[in-house]
Amino acid sequence: MFAMQLRQHHQPLEWVELPDPEPGPDEIRIRIGACGVCRTDLHVVDGELANPTLPIIPGHEIVGRIDKLGSKVKSLSVGERVGIPWLGHTCGHCYYCTHGM
Q: Which domain holds residue 67?
A: 2-98
pLDDT tens readout for residues 54-94:
999 998 889 999 999 999 999 999 999 999 887 767 788 88
Q: Provide the pLDDT for residue 89.
A: 72
How many domains, the chain? 1
Q: Provide the pLDDT for residue 41.
A: 87
Q: Provide the pLDDT for residue 76.
A: 95
Is 21 exposed, middle or buried, given 0-12, 13-18 or 19+ CB atoms closer than 10 A?
exposed
Q: Provide the pLDDT for residue 9.
A: 87
Evaluate whether 39 touches 59 at the Cβ level (below 8 Å): no
Residue 68: CATH number of its domain: 3.90.180.10
Evaluate whether 81 touches 34 at the Cβ level (below 8 Å): no
